[in-house]
């Protein structure tokens, strides 16, 4: 299948998942994770209507202005300065230490950096991210940084054969998201729940994801 057909397929599956969950498909943003792919493939997705890409900065000058780049994947503190003004959202703020570095680099540029807190819901040793119980204390610390705005949370669920196995993790993060909003711990800035990838995005959408990150399902295997 072509990239355009793959996108159509993903969108249809998102719509079906929204229907099952009684949600409006407009609430779900599809991020096309294209970071290992050539510009020609990005442009195919762009021409098929995609505007949000999980990308790295090098391709920015070669893509039309209205495309939005998201920082997907682990962000090292020494790389913050290279990406901070090239992306609309950093999906992987996994510690207060990294947030401090983002604050410093954003202050230098007199800008506000939008971030998601990366949460390791399944407590996998191989993954980055804060544990569920650390999110609220960390959020309270990060809120003191004037140049960092926490827009929500992100998780990478385990790599499983059966997507149903990840439902519990998506449910847990959604519950925390609702709690934070209800208690207004987030100062009203939290609106994004980035969860679900090629193998499990339908379950994530059913459990409240507002962003899904699909790479293989759009661009094929690496």
Q: Is the separation of the CB atoms in 135 and 186 below 8 Å?
A: no
- What b/e string do you get for 183-193 counting C-beta neighbours within 10 Å, with b at 16 or more? eebbeeebebb
Closest alpha carbon to 142 in 181, 105, 115: 115
- Distance, in Å, from the CA atom of 169 to the CA atom of 207, rounded to the nearest integer, reads 9
Closest alpha carbon to 218 in 43, 38, 2: 2
* pLDDT at site 56: 64
| Phi, psi for residue 50 in degrees, rounded to 5 | -75, 140
* pLDDT at site 84: 94
| Positions in the chain whose pLDDT score sits under 70 | 56-57, 222
DSSP SS3 for 219: helix
Q: Note the pTM of the prediction, 2 decimals.
A: 0.94
Size of the chain, expressed as the number of residues it contains: 222
**Exposure on the CB side of residue 62, measured as CA atoms within 13 A:** 11
- Distance, in Å, from the CA atom of 111 to the CA atom of 113, rounded to the nearest integer, reads 6
- Distance, in Å, from the CA atom of 83 to the CA atom of 78, rounded to the nearest integer, reads 10
Closest alpha carbon to 147 in 108, 90, 94: 108
């Amino acid at each position: 299948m072509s990239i355009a057909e793959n996108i159509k397929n993903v969108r249809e599956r998102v719509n079906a998942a929204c229907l099952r969950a009684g949600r409006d498909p407009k609430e779900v943003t599809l991020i096309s994770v294209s970071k290992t792919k050539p510009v020609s493939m990005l442009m195919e997705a762009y021409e098929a209507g995609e505007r949000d890409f999980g990308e790295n900065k090098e391709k920015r000058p070669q893509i039309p202005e209205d495309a939005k780049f998201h920082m997907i994947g682990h962000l090292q503190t020494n790389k913050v300065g290279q990406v901070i003004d090239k992306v609309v959202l950093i999906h992987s703020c996994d510690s207060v230490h990294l947030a401090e570095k983002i604050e410093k680099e954003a202050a230098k540029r007199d800008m506000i950096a939008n971030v998601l807190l990366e949460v390791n819901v399944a407590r996998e040793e191989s993954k980055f991210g804060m544990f569920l119980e650390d999110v609220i204390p960390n959020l309270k610390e990060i809120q003191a940084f004037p140049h960092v705005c926490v827009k929500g949370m992100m998780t990478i669920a385990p790599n499983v054969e059966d997507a149903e196995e990840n439902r519990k993790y998506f449910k847990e993060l959604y519950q925390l998201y609702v709690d934070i909003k209800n208690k207004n711990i987030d100062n009203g800035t939290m609106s994004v729940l980035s969860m679900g990838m090629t193998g499990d995005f339908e379950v994530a959408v059913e459990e409240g994801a507002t962003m899904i990150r699909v790479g293989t399902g759009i661009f094929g295997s690496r």
